[in-house]
């Protein structure tokens, strides 16, 4: 079995979990984030997928989800609380100056992040109005 064939099911599973996280499809299931990060670690160590790409993609997913005011506050907070984990992996993988600069930029984003309140569900259902 070729490496790409071995990698494909795990990559598809990881991508599906990323959509579930980004869209808060199951916001009362915090284990989804741990499962997603574990699947990423597997892809990074046991397939041809770049560990840097996995870590950077994971960080951006968690940070972007945390910043999305249309999602439930508790889900956003959980994503922000877990964003340091792929960032730590990126630090370890910052072997060149360009990666180190990207890691530093992401670190600054995380350190200075201030979450805005989530949009109340009633406004999402009715649509936002300027009153």
Res 45: pLDDT: 92
Cα dihedral across residues 17, 22, 25, 30: positive or negative:
positive
Res 120: pLDDT: 84
The residue among 16, 128, 114 whose CA lies nearest residue 67 is: 114
**Which residues, given as ranges, of the chain have pLDDT below 70?**
1-6, 123-131
Res 127: pLDDT: 62
Tell me how far apart the 2 most distant CA atoms of the chain are, in Å: 61
CB atoms within 10 A of CB 2: 8
């Amino acid at each position: 079995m070729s490496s790409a064939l071995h990698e494909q099911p795990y990559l598809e599973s990881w991508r599906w979990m990323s959509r579930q996280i980004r869209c808060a499809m199951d916001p009362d299931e915090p284990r989804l984030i741990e499962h997603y990060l574990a699947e990423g670690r597997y892809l990074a160590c046991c397939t041809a997928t770049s560990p840097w790409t996995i870590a950077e993609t994971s960080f951006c997913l968690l940070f972007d989800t945390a910043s999305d005011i249309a999602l439930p506050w508790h889900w956003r907070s959980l994503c922000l609380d877990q964003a340091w984990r792929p960032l730590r992996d990126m630090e370890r993988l910052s072997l060149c100056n360009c990666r180190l600069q990207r890691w530093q930029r992401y670190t600054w984003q995380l350190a200075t992040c201030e979450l805005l309140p989530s949009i109340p569900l009633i406004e999402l259902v009715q649509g936002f109005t300027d009153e």
